[in-house]
Amino acid sequence: MKILVIGGSGLVGSNCLNHFAEQPGVEVMGTYFSFPTANTEYFDTLNINNPDNADIAAFNPDVIMHCGALTHVDKCETEVEESYDKTVRSTLNVIELCKVYNARMLYVSTDYVFDGREGPYDENASVNPLSIYGKHKLEAEQLVLKEVPGSVVIRITNVYGDEERNKNFVTRIAEVCVNGESLALKLPVDQYATPVNAADVAKALYLLARDGKSGIYNIASKDFFNRVELVEKILSFFPDHKITFESITTAELGQPAPRPLMGGLKTDKFMGEYPDFVFTTVDDYLKDFSMEAKI
């Protein structure tokens, strides 16, 4: 099986590249758009005929995974055209690639397709995105399911884990603690989600691709935290930290994009098909992170 990972330099994409490459009988190729890494090649999803693009034809993928999007939720709210281009139009172009190579597609979506009134959500819950980001992700996932038979859409949220830039929230806060830096945070006490390790996302995606699954799957661990609880969890591993925080409501925070407050995802469908799969927790990740920091 040949898997092309578009957006392979990001958090989810890089973990998928690493995990897929370790699997028997799998060849993997990764691309980047704005952030190059050692094992990715340039590919412009907004112009698939760009002469500088990686040679996809030579690789001839069986499966194309699309991780790329404009994920800055507040920026999406003000830069609507850029959000559409990087989330919807890029997906339309990847769909065209799938048709050219007769490839199945793996698309990475979000719990922001829900309104956050009754989460955590299963795959059959009614969608009702509140933000531009959520609306564009929903439009993209619906296009994938309609246009590319046999494809998989996964929904994830609050992803953390090892990545080259350490941009994700959990790793960034843990790194600040390790470095002994001071940081003052304002945290929404009413935003709940189900954090998941990108390494687990990669393992789950490989199984879905290997077994020819299709449709929508939620991927999440059993953790269910609000932002205050999540930071308290992180800080508990670093008793000498210099971080202070204030608990406030989302309304007080005044974020440009509306958030699904009671968000998160249920994984009964995935676990029903893969009952032996074990999702790691934030605790597991932080134990390893703190131990490595002491070496």
Summarize pLDDT for 114-167 with one digit per residue, the tens.
999 999 999 999 999 999 999 999 999 999 999 999 999 999 999 999 998 888
Q: Domains of the chain: which residue ranges? A: 2-159+196-218, 166-192+223-261+281-294
**Letter string b/e over residues 183-208, b meaning 16 or more CB atoms within 10 A of that residue's CB:** eeeebbbbbbbbbbbbbbbbbbbbeb
φ/ψ of residue 284, rounded to 5: -60, -45
φ/ψ of residue 104, rounded to 5: -75, 160
Helix (H, G, I), strand (E, B) or coil at 141: helix
Classify domain 2-159+196-218 at the CATH topology level.
Rossmann fold (3.40.50)
Contact status, residue 188 vs residue 230, Cβ threshold 8 Å: no
Please report the pLDDT score of residue 293 as a whole number. 78
Classify domain 166-192+223-261+281-294 at the CATH topology level.
UDP-galactose 4-epimerase; domain 1 (3.90.25)
What is the identity of the amino acid at 70?
Answer: L
What pTM, to 2 d.p., does this model score? Answer: 0.96
